[in-house]
Amino acid sequence: FRKLPSERTALVYDERMKEHYNMWDSQHPELPQRISCIYAQHESQQLTEHCLRIPVRSATEEELQMCHSLKYIQTIKSTVDMKARDLHRQSDEYISIYISPKTYDCALLATGSTFNVVEAILTGKAQNGVAIVRPPGHHAEKNMACG
C-alpha cells in the first residue's frame, strides 16, 4: 500500500488570474470575482488550512501545444498588445468569449498552475487537487476558444 500524503489536497490559486476580464460587458457570467469567491468559500470552511499550497507558474508554449495548435496559441498571444477595439473584434471570432490585454498571461498561469496540481498528485505529494483558475478553458478546442 502507498502511504497517503499528510496533506491530501493540493490547492493552487492566484489573484492575478482576475486580470482576465470583460472590457465590454460587466454582466458576462464569467466574472473575475468567480475565483475569489470560490477561494473565500474554501477559507470560510477552513479547507485551505488542510491543503498543500502549490506554487503557480506559467505554462510553456510546448505544454499549450499538448492541446492547442501553434497557430491558435500565436493568435491568442498576439492579443497582448492589441487595442481595445481589436480585442473586441478578436473576441467576436469566438462563441461567448472575451479577450482582455491580460488574457494570454492569465491563461498561461491557469494552465501551468493546473499542471503543477496534477504533478503533485502524480508524484504522491497529494491525493487529489483543486485548481481555482481562470480563464476557464474546459470548452476550448484545438484551434479555437469556445465558451
Residues noted as catalytic:
139
Look at residue 12 and give its three-state secondary structure: strand
Which residues are paired to 129 by β-bridges?
10
Residue type, 143: N
Residue ranges of the alpha helices (H) in 15-96? 33-44, 61-64, 70-77, 84-91
Q: From CA 70, how far away is CA 110, in angstroms rounded?
A: 18
Residue 63 in grid coordinates: 505544454
